[in-house]
């Protein structure tokens, strides 16, 4: 049996971290932990309990019930993807809704919520064989990960990717506005009080400014093979 790894992928916004992480997980038959989906699931729970909505947020109520929140990812062979389950209920479609999107930022900023999510993420990773992307995976969630990758790309490249993505969805956007938003988000990510964006000392940097997903996969396959074989 091949050695299983914990693979942590951190980096700046719009670098294609999730796409890259999903591709690695699919190729290795690993679990892809979607950290964003976990915060969305907590948000859905809070909405159902009327802890958030109409401009109000009941932080005490949220903190009180955090231990009652259990999240897992279950493989659906029909779509060949992992889906998000909240307390044994498939909520994959619900958590992608507009209302959840409107509230998830406020929920994710609560320190106790982040601590609970880290706890759950570590529980999922106890048997290894996982890939997870985010901002603090290699520094906070899995500081002992077998492989840490820190992704970056030129701001203009990231803005163009985001611009193309939105245009393809039929959203009318301004390129310069997107570029400014990405710069602002970089500053926020690097300077936030809770789990700021940092490259782990032992992370391998991947600048994918001029790389396709397949080129990134070719690059990472060699690294993974060495890790699995212990070389």
Specify the pairing of strand 89-90 against strand 6-11: unpaired
> What pLDDT is recorded for position 169?
83
Q: How far apart are CA 105 and CA 154, in angstroms?
A: 25
∠ CA 203-186-214, nearest 5°, is 55
User: 77 and 15, same structural domain?
Assistant: no
In tens, the pLDDT along 162-191 reads 899 888 888 888 999 999 989 988 898 888
Residue 231 pLDDT greater than 70, yes or no: no
In tens, the pLDDT along 81-125 reads 889 999 999 999 999 888 888 898 889 889 999 999 999 999 999
Residue 231 lies in a domain: no
Q: What's the domain range around 173?
A: 1-30+130-220
How much is the pTM?
Answer: 0.86
User: 62 and 14, same structural domain?
Assistant: no
> What pLDDT is recorded for position 214?
96
Count of structural domains, the chain = 2
Residue 226 lies in a domain: no
> What pLDDT is recorded for position 166?
86
Q: What is the CATH number of the domain that holds 37?
A: 3.40.50.300
DSSP E strands in 63-138: the ranges are 71-76, 81-86, 89-90, 130-134
Q: Which of 100, 128, 156 is the last residue of a domain?
A: 128
Q: Is the dihedral of CA 213, 84, 199, 144 positive or negative?
A: negative
Q: How far apart are CA 8 and CA 219, in angstroms?
A: 16
Q: Which of 128, 159, 194 is the last residue of a domain?
A: 128
Residue 228 lies in a domain: no
Specify the pairing of strand 52-53 against strand 56-57: antiparallel
The answer to whether 61 and 42 are in contact (CB under 8 A) is no
> What pLDDT is recorded for position 28?
95
User: 80 and 40, same structural domain?
Assistant: yes
The answer to whether 171 and 43 are in contact (CB under 8 A) is no
User: 109 and 44, same structural domain?
Assistant: yes
């Amino acid at each position: 049996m091949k050695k299983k790894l914990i693979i942590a992928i951190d980096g700046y916004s719009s670098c294609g971290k999730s796409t890259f992480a999903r591709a690695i997980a699919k190729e290795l038959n690993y679990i892809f932990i979607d950290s964003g989906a976990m915060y969305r699931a907590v948000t859905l729970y809070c909405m159902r309990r009327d802890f958030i909505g109409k401009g109000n947020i009941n932080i005490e109520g949220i903190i009180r019930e955090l231990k009652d929140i259990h999240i897992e990812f279950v493989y659906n062979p029909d779509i060949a993807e992992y889906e998000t389950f909240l307390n044994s209920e498939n909520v994959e479609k619900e958590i992608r809704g507009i209302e959840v999107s409107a509230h998830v930022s406020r929920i994710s900023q609560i320190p106790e919520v982040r601590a609970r999510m880290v706890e759950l993420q570590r529980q999922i990773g106890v048997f290894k064989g996982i890939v997870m992307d985010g901002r603090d995976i290699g520094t906070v969630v899995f500081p002992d990960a077998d492989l840490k990758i820190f992704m970056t790309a030129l701001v203009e490249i990231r803005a163009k990717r985001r611009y193309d993505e939105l245009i393809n969805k039929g959203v009318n956007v301004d390129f310069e506005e997107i570029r400014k938003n990405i710069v602002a988000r970089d500053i926020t990510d690097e300077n936030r009080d809770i789990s700021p964006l940092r490259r782990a000392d032992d992370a391998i940097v991947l600048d994918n400014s001029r790389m396709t997903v397949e080129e990134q996969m070719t690059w990472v396959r060699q690294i993974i093979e060495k890790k699995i074989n212990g070389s």
